[in-house]
Amino acid sequence: MTARDGRPLRAFASENGVWRYPVKAEDVSPLYLEALIGYEDRYFYYHAGVNPIAITRAANQGLRNGRVVSGGSTITMQVARILEPHPRTILGKMRQILRAYQLEWHLSKTEILEIYLSYAPFGGTIEGVEAASWAYLGKSSKQLSHSEAALLAVLPQTPSRLRPDRNPEAARKARDKVLKRLAENNIWSSIPIAEAKQEPVVTRSLRIPMSAALMAQRLRNANPSKNKIESTLDADLQSLLEERLKNYFSQLPERSSAALLVVDNQTLEARAYVGSLSFGDEKTLGHVDMVQALRSPGSTLKPFLYGLAMDDGLIHTESLLVDAPQDFGDYRPANFDPIYHGPVSASEALQLSLNVPAVDLLDRVGSERFAARLANAGLPMRMPEGAKPNLSIILGGTGVKLEELVGAFAAFNREGVAGRVRYAKQAAHSDRRILSPGAAWMIREILETHKSNTQNDDILDTSHRKRVAWKTGTSYGFRDAWALGTTPEYTVGVWVGRPDGTPMPGQYGAITALPLMYEVFDSLPRSDQSVLRTEMPKAVKAIDICWPLGRSVQETEAGLCHRQRQGFALINSVPPTWPDRNARVWNAGQLELQIDAQTGLRLSTDCKQTHSQKSLHIARWPSLTTPWLPISLREKTRIPALAADCTEDTLASMETLQIDGPAEKSTLARAPNSTQPISAEFRALGTQDKVKWLVNGQWVADTQAGQKILMKFDTAGVQRITALTDAGAWDEMSLYVLK
């Protein structure tokens, strides 16, 4: 298999173990052809297969010296012996002459010469000038110097004796013999011949190309009848990244492996392909191609979900989402980082890779529909037999391939068009739209401007690097670490893990795969990305959004705009904040109440006294965000108490949850001489629903209504205890824990 510029990446031996690269005459250096014909057969283009003068001269020399001095064989006769070996006897020579005449009768001079170029013996298992040039000189036969051309021209005479890797001095003398004859016959002038004689004969050990080994094996299996496969890879980049990968993994756990893929966005041609850390290494299962392996994608599918939701008109970049403990039937997702953030924008939720907002969004888009859209674009999800896509797929509960992820991720720099990665020059294009140009642009903007929420922010300084839209992922149990990135020119995918599926604790996408992904981008050719960057599509507009309602600033009353956000949305698509999922009375949105103009108390439809009424508009936040709101915003959403003379309305039935436990702002200390953690008992009163308990924003447990919970505190300081129900009822208290 060759690189895109013709350089061999990996060579496969024939059935009998021979290394051979078939080559055309125009693909070989003219210097070599001049040296070969000038030394071996000056009259090659004039005789009919046999040179009678040379044969006669060889016979006379043999009779005078009693041994073979020169063979007298033409190139055509040597091809005849290559195709049909025969003993060195008079009968064998006659048979060789007959075959030479037959070759000249049926083939052109060029065809005969190309057989020699491809099959001549060059020592050991090396056949043909191209294979010999790479094996002995490390270059193509198209790039030979005068000295190198002369050396390779003489090697087939006695290849075992003249091999430069074993007998450099014998090889030098044979080369000089060729140069002398070329000078005598005025084929080369004196200056290049003198320079060629000064050039030392290389003693490079014989090396068979073994780059991009797994991709070469893959293409060979797909094209078993082809002698030469032209790939799309960049030879220099491939070699550089293979070396970088080995150096990068010197500090990672044993049996770690990796795969990476670099794709040109314009053509979706692969420029580098590393299927394993070390091909052939048994410990790391180096024979397993992880570019094609099915692995859990972790969170890497989230950008596609957010983009699809934008196309569906469900969200824009600053839509208000809820990051709080939630149940989706029997499914309870948790964030990778167990801390919850309460109200977050869609862009923040994607940048921080929050799990609960993503599951909530997938529940609204539909799992099966999401899976079908990705499959249509070339990113199918593999589920266990008989299973259907469910909410877990957005957190990695499915199987995908690295090459499919890369082909889809490129869509963010291809105006929403994904496609199949191409490895061979003749491979067909297969493009499918996955997102609209506007949604793809907005997702790319989000992924380009986010900051990693990892411990390696100080190590991974991106301020002076290329502008990359990236997403990481980590599968359950630390089995797969992912990083995908795209620029206007290239898309890069990196997988790190163990091919046998065993965990790598502490190794996750942002800390293991992301730095490697940036090393790959650092290795790519630099260009002016601003020339390639696409401007904001006409289908996208910049917007100022008001929280909590989610409407534009222009459409929102001044008093109802609690927070203002700047972002992007598709034209004619500014969806409001979603209604609460499980709240029975309290619901996100705008509420209009009638209140007493003097007292401010709420009025119902049935009041005994006559009141001076006025309307009150309240912008309500999603109920589950309330514990994360500052006191000032809670006050803005507070519903006034009901006037005493009015009958109860639906708002009066809202639950008022109360935490029963230690007193507010009390101090907890360990019992004297005790080594047990400091603990306290709590329960939630005033609700019939299941209660979620959080400490400092981190979920710790669920209890049934009225059920007690014993909380243990391992850290000292202020502890914020929150009780919360899906219906929106909540209460909060603070304690201080001593060391």
The yes-or-no answer on residue 40 being catalytic is yes
DSSP letter, residue 112: H
Both tokens of residue 422?
Answer: 């191409």
Would strands 19-20 and 126-127 be described as parallel, antiparallel, or unpaired? parallel
> Catalytic pick from 29, 231, 299, 436?
299
**Whole-angstrom distance, CA of residue 259 vs CA of residue 323:** 33
Contacts of 569 by beta carbon, 8 Å cutoff, 6+ apart? 310, 316, 317, 540, 541, 543
**Whole-angstrom distance, CA of residue 300 vs CA of residue 401:** 12
The yes-or-no answer on residue 299 being catalytic is yes
Q: How far is CA 495 from CA 42, 192, 273, 516, 697, in A?
A: 57, 51, 12, 10, 32
Long-range contact set of residues 327-332: C-beta below 8 Å, sequence gap at least 24: 327/690, 327/726, 328/359, 328/360, 328/363, 328/391, 331/359, 331/390, 331/391, 331/392
**Whole-angstrom distance, CA of residue 214 vs CA of residue 285:** 12
CB atoms within 10 A of CB 219: 19
According to DSSP, the residues that pair with 230 across neighbouring strands are 2
Q: How far is CA 234 from CA 226, 273, 274, 287, 324, in A?
A: 21, 10, 12, 22, 47
- CA-nearest of 448, 473, 161 to 299 is 473
What is the number of alpha carbons within 13 Å of residue 334 lying toward its C-beta? 12
> Catalytic pick from 40, 348, 403, 489?
40
Q: What is the layout of strands, in order, in the sheet containing 480-486?
A: 269-274, 257-264, 490-497, 480-486, 469-474
DSSP letter, residue 123: S
**Whole-angstrom distance, CA of residue 677 vs CA of residue 670:** 7
Catalytic positions, please? 40, 299
